[in-house]
Homo-oligomer: A and B are copies of this chain.
Amino acid sequence: MTDALKRGRDVLAEMNPEIEQVLRDRYDGILPGFAESLVEWAYGRHYSREGLDMKTRQLCTVAALTTLGGQTAPQLKINIENTLAAGASEREIAEAIWQMAVYGGLPAAINGLNAAKEVFEAY
């Protein structure tokens, strides 16, 4: 097992221990190695890094997914959940999204707030 893969699995052990198996069942059939590759890259090479705390890292992700728009709505919802889990308040998340109205335009920000409302109400 690679070092980065191991670090990725360590991050997920706390955050979402079942996700690698879910991804493997869903995608490895059409794309061998998918789940391992994603865990190594996203969690082993990014979320496990030092230099920026997890909560800020997650708020940055929420901000960026908001500006990337509709294509990333499913990922935005998952990351809003992860950002709450990393200790951010609902208000902080809403602020990070609304700030994006300046940079990505109102439609992106409003669609982001709609995603946040769905997550907050389901929590």
A interface residue numbers (CB < 8 A to B): 2-5, 26-27, 30-31, 33-34, 37-38, 40-42, 45-46, 49, 51-52, 56-57, 59-75, 90-92, 94-96, 98-108, 110-111, 113, 116-117, 120
Chain B residue at minimum C-beta to C-beta distance from A65: B103
Q: Report the Cα distance A46→B116, complex, angstroms.
A: 18
Contact B30 A99 (CB under 8 A): no
Number of this chain's copies in the assembly equals 6
Chain B residues with CB under 8 A of A91: 30-31, 51-52
Contact A104 B64 (CB under 8 A): yes
Q: Which of B34, B67, B90, B100 contacts A30 (CB 8 A)?
A: B90
- A100, A102, A103, A117: most-surrounded residue (chain B CB, <10 A): A103
Q: Could you give 17 example pairs across A and B, Cβ below 8 Å? A: A4-B5, A31-B91, A31-B94, A31-B98, A31-B113, A46-B98, A52-B96, A60-B60, A63-B63, A64-B67, A64-B100, A69-B72, A71-B108, A72-B103, A74-B111, A103-B106, A104-B104
Contact B63 A107 (CB under 8 A): no
